[in-house]
Structure 1
Amino acid sequence: MPELSIQLLCNSRYFSGFSVISVTPLHGGLSQRLYQVQYRNDDELKSVVVRCIQDAQLAREEYELMQHAMDLAPRLRTIEDVDIDDGAFSIIVMDFIEGDLAKDCELSTLQLTTIATQLTRLHQSLPSCPIKRPSVNKLRLIDDYWQLIEQPSLQDVTRFNSAVALVNSLTFDNDALIHGDLNLSNLIVGSDSIIWLDWEYASVGDAYFDYATLVVEAPNRLEQAIITALQKAGNTVIDSKRLTRFKLYYALVSWLWCLGCMQRAKTQTPQLTAAFCKYQQAVDQLTADICASDNSL
């Protein structure tokens, strides 16, 4: 996909009547699919966020999922296809949200409660959701990622085999609408709201996947507070053993993804290196914790 530019945006219907001033990649996660666009409408300078997607059907599904999520997602302006160099991609234009990424915030108990309540509402909204993307085969995804790793080290092979042996027995309940990428880089904390970005992986799935993602991505000291908030919001009891194995699954998939990116990248960014180390440490620690727990029985 080409980089989004002022020239490309001027070819779109939405921006055709405006003077586009700047296009800035937003580095919330490890990819650059979101851009802040500043433009001038008469004498007023305005900002929006533009999401770029190559697949038109996936773009339309993501747009409708964000509409369904309502106040969890930014307010949507439009979706349209843009032709570039005999090719095409889709853009979703949405409000620019003033605030800080949750990963850069000291999240309060009230904010954790808000996130837990939002997540519970999303999970329970599956029956009314107009788009029901089927869940991918989660266990097969591990093998798919592993096949992309070139000449893994003996240590990586041992790490992979040990972790896979512990998650192969996982069952995935497809009874919730999950966000699928609940990284704290995808949550914007505003003055009076918390807005969720990057709905690319939203699908029918298991609520525990979102729980595990949130817990792994948050600082360790917040784990119990997050679990307490989730249990209260959902009026449920979270199975700690099941959650731990889902945490290992999420950490393993994320480690494999980072390992593959590092092998393919010509240069390794500090952000990618930090993420790789974080997930590798999580895989090792969770594998050790589960083995110790199993051995104590």
Structure 2
Amino acid sequence: MQNDELIRLLKTPLGLTEDAIVYPLSGGAINRSYYLNDDSKEFMVKEFQGESSLCIDRQERFELQLSLFNKHLAPKPIYLSVDTGIYVEQWIKQHTSQMLLVFDDRHIHTLATALTRVHKSNIKAKLVDLPKEWHQYLTTLVNPSLCLVDEITKETEKWIRGRELASHDQVFCHNDLVWAHLCVPTKLILDWEYAGIGNRYFDILSCAKVNNLNTQQHDLLLTTYAKKNNIPINVVYDGCSQQASFMELTYQLWHQAVGIAPKI
């Protein structure tokens, strides 16, 4: 979308003046993001794309983020267009320290602290129904292999059994906790598109995956999380082992559905 068209669409709902300016931002695998400034008012604007491939109810996400804002976990949501294609939230200034070249122990501890904070938050949200997501992704693929279909069927049965046996590990999860989604100075967390009630160990593995942690960093994340949550480390490793195939299948299907090659 052109910048002037975006300003025109947001002029009335946000009460913009003629001095409003908008800049496209880098990042984001699917959606387009913009910084909108109007004198002293600043906004983060997102233009959602590829919605047919995703299982996201934008109105429900807006209401969830409002709950997260009230818990001091997320920026304040401000506006969602009628067609749910344009979303606006409070602008949170990111610092250059948010862009890491190398993770050190301090960063891993910060990730573990953020995961713990999210998991211990008392947020009412929908269940993250992984089989539903898998089947939605599958419908977007042209001629998926029988092997993939069989894998989804087997993993669905395994997921249902596992959820019943590990109900105590069902907590509120972010599920996309890449470092850039942490605003360390404010302790706010960004981009809650995939959040919901799910298995804590899936969230931990997802965090390790999106941050491309190596084996040593991965182990430190699990160890630090175990200590912060008073969970025996062997229990954390067992939980992650049980969720590993779910996480890998989810990311494989997501990348295929949205047409983005996974990072090697």
Q: Bin the TM-score by the shorter chain.
A: 0.7 to 0.9
What TM-score comes out, normalization by structure 1 length? 0.68
State the 1:162 CA deviation: 5.4
For 1:247, give the aligned amino acid: A
Higher strand share: 1
1:211 matched to 2:212 = no
C-alpha separation between the residues in 1 aligned to 2:115 and 2:66? 18
For 2:131, give the aligned amino acid: L
C-alpha separation between the residues in 2 aligned to 1:151 and 1:56? 29
Q: What does residue range 42-191 of structure 1 map to in structure 2 within 5 Å?
A: 47-51=42-46, 57-70=59-72, 72-74=73-75, 76=76, 79-82=78-81, 91-100=87-96, 104-126=100-122, 129=123, 132-152=124-144, 157-158=146-147, 161=150, 165=154, 168-170=157-159, 171-172=162-163, 173=167, 175-188=170-183, 190=184
For 1:23, give the aligned amino acid: Y
Any gaps of 5 or more consecutive residues in structure 1? 263-271, 279-297
State the 1:244 CA deviation: 2.6
Q: Which whole-Å deviations, capped at 9, do the CAs of 1:183-212 have from their partners, x for residues lacking one?
A: 344334x5x455421112222222112111
Report what 1:290 is aligned to. Answer: none
Report what 2:54 is aligned to. Answer: none
Q: Is the 8 A contact 1:49 1:93 kept in 2?
A: yes
Q: Measured at CA, do residues 255 and 102 of structure 1 come closer, stay the same or move farther in structure 2, by a change above 3 Å?
A: farther
For 1:220, give the aligned amino acid: N
Q: Measured at CA, do residues 177 and 37 of structure 1 come closer, stay the same or move farther in structure 2, by a change above 3 Å?
A: same
RMSD: 3.3
Q: Is the 8 A contact 1:66 1:199 kept in 2?
A: no
C-alpha separation between the residues in 2 aligned to 1:30 and 1:111? 23
Any gaps of 5 or more consecutive residues in structure 2? 52-56
Q: Measured at CA, do residues 80 and 236 of structure 1 come closer, stay the same or move farther in structure 2, by a change above 3 Å?
A: same
Q: Measured at CA, do residues 147 and 60 of structure 1 come closer, stay the same or move farther in structure 2, by a change above 3 Å?
A: closer
Greater Rg by CA: 1
> SS state of the match for residue 142, structure 2?
coil
Between the two proteins, the alignment pairs up a number of residues equal to 246
Report what 2:195 is aligned to. Answer: 202
Report what 2:37 is aligned to. Answer: 38
Q: Measured at CA, do residues 166 and 249 of structure 1 come closer, stay the same or move farther in structure 2, by a change above 3 Å?
A: same
Report what 1:22 is aligned to. Answer: 22
Report what 1:220 is aligned to. Answer: 214
1:241 matched to 2:241 = no
